[in-house]
Amino acid sequence: MGTTRTPRGKWIEEGLRALSAGGPEAVRIELLAQALGVSKGGFYGYFDNRGALLAEMLDTWEREVTESVIEQVESGGGDARAKLVRLFTIAASEDGPVTGTSVDLAIRDWARRDEAVAQRLRRVDNRRMDYLRSLFGAICPDEGEVEVRCMVAFSLRIGHHFIAADHGSHSRGEMMELTRKWLLG
C-alpha cells in the first residue's frame, strides 16, 4: 500500500495560516510539516524551496481575493446594485484560510518590508478598486462620488476590524448594514 501525499493546496493553506499568525518569518517548512502531521520530505515533491512556496501562497491569495470573488459576484447576474449586495455579502463572510482578513492584514504588513510583495499588493488593490468602480459607476454618474464610495467600501473591508468604537444604540452588524445601504443609495 503506497503512502498518501499531502496535497499541494494543504501546504499553501498551512503556509497562509502561518503567515497570518506570525508573518513571513513563521512560514518554515519544518513547522508546516509538523502542523500537517507529515514529514518535510513531501514538501520538496511540490516546491523547490521556501521561496517557491511563498510565491504560490501569494498567487493563491491574489487569485482568491480578486478573480474568484469577481466570478462569484458576476455568476449571480443582476444589475450593479445586486452585484454590489452580493459582493458585500461575500466580503462579510470571507474568513477562510486564504481569503480571511488576517491573511490580508499579514500580507499588508509583509508588503511594508518587501517591495515585491508591495507591488503585488498594489496590483491586487487596484484590481479590487477597478471592479468596485465598474459597479458603483453603473449606479452613480458622478466620477468623484464613485471614487468616494469605492474608497469607503474598500476601507471598510480592510479596516473595520481595527475600530473598537461603540455605535450608540446600534450593534456593529447594524452599522455595517446601514453603511452598505448608504453606499448603495
- Residues 120-164 have pLDDT tens digits of 999 999 999 999 999 999 999 999 999 999 999 999 988 888 888
79/134 Cα distance (integer angstroms): 11
First to last CA, the chain: 62
Q: Express as a percent the part of the chain with pLDDT over 70.
A: 95
Cα 85 from Cα 136, distance rounded (Å): 11
Cα–Cα dist 158/110, whole Å: 15
Of 43 and 6, more confident: 43
* pLDDT reading at 95 higher than 80: no
**Contact indicator for 175, 167 with CB cutoff of 8 Å:** yes
pLDDT at 25: 96
Whether residue 181 is predicted with pLDDT greater than 70 in this model: the reply is yes
Domain positions in the chain are 8-57, 59-184
- Nearest alpha-carbon partner for 29 in 4, 48, 1: 48
CA-closest candidate to residue 36, choices 61, 16, 62, 63: 16
What angle do the packed helices 50-65 and 8-22 form, to 10 degrees?
90
How many other CB atoms sit within 10 Å of the CB of residue 102? 15
Percent of the chain with pLDDT over 90: 76
For 8-57, CATH number out of 1.10.3720.10, 3.40.50.740, 3.30.9.40, 1.10.10.60 equals 1.10.10.60
